[in-house]
Structures are given as structure tokens and as C-alpha cells.
A and B are shown apart, each in its own frame.
Chain A
Amino acid sequence: MNALHAWLTLVGQGFSEWLDAWVRVSRFAMTALIGMLSPATYNKATRLVVQKQIYFTAWQILPGFCVFAALFSYLIIEIVGITARKYGLYEYALELIVRILVLEILPLMTALFVALRTGAAINTEVALMKIQNELDALQRIGIDPMRLELLPRVVGGTISVLALTAVNIVAALWLTHLAIVDFHPWTLTDGDFTRMIGKVLDIPVLLVLWAKTLAFGFAVTVIPISEGLSTPQKLFHAPISVLRGMVRLFFSLMLIEAAALAMVYV
């Protein structure tokens, strides 16, 4: 009986901590959203931090990541194209490519890449700032850390995810045209290509795509920051904070992806 009681207490504590963490993330997300939309947030110092964040998150990795995304896209386009042709379904290849690659894989891949690179870095940095009391130090000299250090990272990170996704989608569409219409002009023409793109990427689908990308961008910065802020002021908690932040971020990205899929297909 005692063992059962202890086990139930442990499970209850775990659930309570899990719930608390999500409440913290939600609260911070709401505060960040209001802060992002408030003109009072922005001044010359905060705009500079936003620029730096965009530089480190998007501009610095742009060439390498775009080459990788283009190669990956081309591989998927060729595989889908060749397989579809083999089974006599070539007319469906283009729609399949746009639906799988442009609407699903590229936005998710970009978000995961930024989450791994920037999200982990932001989580570590905020956790260390919290542990070393840098946030209080800023507050004490009259600088609101939320405005100077945290919100610009959310804004910069979100813009970066949107920009990288847009660039990758444009590159993928161009490669699709190249692979399906230019290199292997079996049945499709320029007109077919344009019509198909217009048919698949209609207004509701585009709205869901950009809403999803926006949510990805918001999540890859908000969750690591929120996790970093809740780190206890002990150095050994830093890796635990990053670990928790990254796991929470991964599940959030998957949840956003599933919700977007449900909106389009269910």
C-alpha cells in the first residue's frame, strides 16, 4: 500500500511539474506576443539585437543551408518523379511533390534545423544569464531584460524561420520545374506546372502554411527562452534546462505539424 502511495505521489508530482512547465511556456508566449506587437518594445538597442539575431539565425547559415535544402529537395523530386513515372502516375508527381516537399517537409526541416542550432544556443544562453544573475544585473541598471534580451530573440528567430522557409520553398519550386518540366519533359508543360501550383497552393492552404511556419518560428525561440528562464541558479542545472527545452520544443513542433496537417486534410 505504501509503495502504491509513493508511486502515485511520484507520478502526481511528475505530472504537476510537466503541467507547470507548460503553463510557464504559455504565459511567456502570451507576454512575448503582446510585447512583440507593442511599438514601445522597440528602440535603437532592441532593433540592433533583432538584427543580430536575424544575422546569426538566418544570414550566417543561408548559403550552406540552402545548398543542403536544394540537394535534399532535388533528391525527393527525382525519387517521386521517377517512381511516379514507373507506375504510370506521372501526372500526379507534381502535386505529390508540392504537397509533401513544399507544404510539409521543408517548413518542418527548417524549423528543426533552427531549433537545433539557434534554439539550443538561446536556451543555453538564457539559462546561463539566469544562473549568473545577468538578467538581474540588467534590471538593476534600468534595462528591461525582456525588452533588450528576450523579445528581440523571439522576433529575430521568428523572422529567420519565415525567411529561410520562404527561400527554401522558392528554391524547391524552381528545382521542381527544372526536374519535372525542363530536364524530363515527358508529359508536363509550363502551363501544367503553373496550373498545378495554383491548384495546390490555394489561399487556405497558403494561410495554413504561413500560420504553421509562424508558429514554428515562435516556438523555436519562445520555448527555449521560457525553459532558460526557469532554470534554478545553479550551474549544474544548465544542461538539464537545455535538455528539457529541446524535448519540449521537439514535441511542440510535431504538435504544430500535426495540427496543420489536420487543418488541411481532415
Chain B
Amino acid sequence: MRVSEIELVSPKSVIECLSYMAESDRTVRLIAGGTDAVVQMKEGKGRPEVWINIKGLKELRYIREEADGIHLGPLTTHTDIARSNLLKSRAEALAEASWQVGAEQIRNMGTIGGNIVTASPAGDTIPALYVLDAELELQSLTGKRRIKIEDFFLGPRRTVLQKDEMITDIIIQPQKPNEISIFQKLGPRRAQAISIVNVAVKLAMGTEPRQCLDGKIAFGSVAPTVIRAKKCEAMLKLGTLTDEMIRQIGKTAWKEVSPISDIRASAEYRRDMAGALLERGLYRLMKRWESR
């Protein structure tokens, strides 16, 4: 398929889009920000016969708080998320993760829905969505289903999304007053780079100093999909989160991860960095908590 011969249609509504997806006898792909799709297209990968351009579907771009959580439209851009006061205070890890995606131009174009369906093990928003208990609403012409984000990914670039389905809503649980969260990323430079390792952490704090009641930890880039670190999570509740305890939790992280070596880093370094980033994240969280 020549790039110049790919057609592009721009549906006016979600229903029109879903109809097109269900009824077209040609291969179709959705395109929103295009920050991943266009790169792939240039490389000759994933060229459809028809692009369905959903960039203009304003009904899928929103951030709003409802009774069952904060709802994010899949076309919400990283810039929207990073600048949202609601998310900066009640979903810190997600706002921080979006802030660390790519460069300004990528953040202006790239969407959270795109980051999810691309299903890269290094996707920056995904660990944050894990710790914020995100759920996805998947819709097709025949109906809707709601699944936990942890059940969405099958492997690198593989998800449970059916050919005629699209993500129409993302629901996260906002942090309660005693909860704090953070996103940490290690790339080959400070910004604008694909993560070597990333991690999101959310903690529920008690009334005692550095008392952790519960916590969630999710790592990216250290397994075929983003993963939860459940041994480390259990350790969070064992006692006061002293610097020594944090160090021990960090050291445990290597038991949770199964990274590979690639051009960006060796498996050995990735494994050590999972611990280092968790350790650094917990130090920074404690500092943040204590300065409240």
C-alpha cells in the first residue's frame, strides 16, 4: 500500500466511526494524534487501506469528575492531562507521566487513548493508570464493555481490543486525601526519550509518621507488558517507611521484573534500575508527604 493511496475518512460522531469500523470491507485503522501511527506508516508497518481520522471527535476529549471516578476521554492529549489542576492534585502520577511523554509537540498531538492502544511496554501513562485503578470502556456497534486496564494488554503491541471496537472512556479512581502518587522515569537523557524503565507508585498513608496503609506499584519496560510489583506492595505495609525500609523495598524489585536487553539498556541494568527508580520514587514521595 502506497502512503499516497491510503484513503482517509473523518467520521463526525462515535456512532458513525463505529459503523464504519463494523461495515468496511477494507482494512481500517484509527488515527488520532498520529505520533505513533504515522511513524509506523513511514516504516511501512501497519498501513491500512483507510485511515479513520478521529482527531475531530470532540465528544471524546474531556476530563471530568463523576461519582464513580474521574473520566478521561481517549482523545485527551498529554498536554491536557499535564495541565489539569484536577489531575495534578488527585492523580499526580498520571499528570507527571503525561508531562514526561516525548516533547512539547508530541504532548500536544499525542492522546492517552493512543498511548494505551499502542500497548508499548514502555508507554509512560500505563503504569500510572495501573496504580490509579483505571478501567476502560470499549465500545462497538453492538455494545459496550468495561474492563480493568490490567486485563487489557496481552503482550507488546497486543491487546484484547476487537477489530470493531474502540476505547470510548477511561475511568480512574482519584486519590483520597491521605493518598499520594508519583511517576518516575529513566531514559537515556532527561527528557524526550523512550523509557529504559518507568514506575508509578500510589500510597495510602496513615496518621503515624511514614505509616503506609496500602500501596500500588507498577513498572514499565521490564516485562512484556506493564506489571504490578506485588511483593514490593506487600512490603510497604510491613512497617514505617524509613530510608532503610525504602532501600529494602527497592532491592526487592528485581524479583518482580523480567526485562530484556536491547539497544537502550541491558537486562541487568534494567533490573537494577527498577529498584533504583522505586527507591528514588519512595524517597521523593516521603519528602512530598512530609512537606504537606
Asked whether A and B interact, the reply is: no
Contacts from B to A (Cβ < 8 Å): none
**Which A residues are closer than 8 A to B by beta carbons?**
none
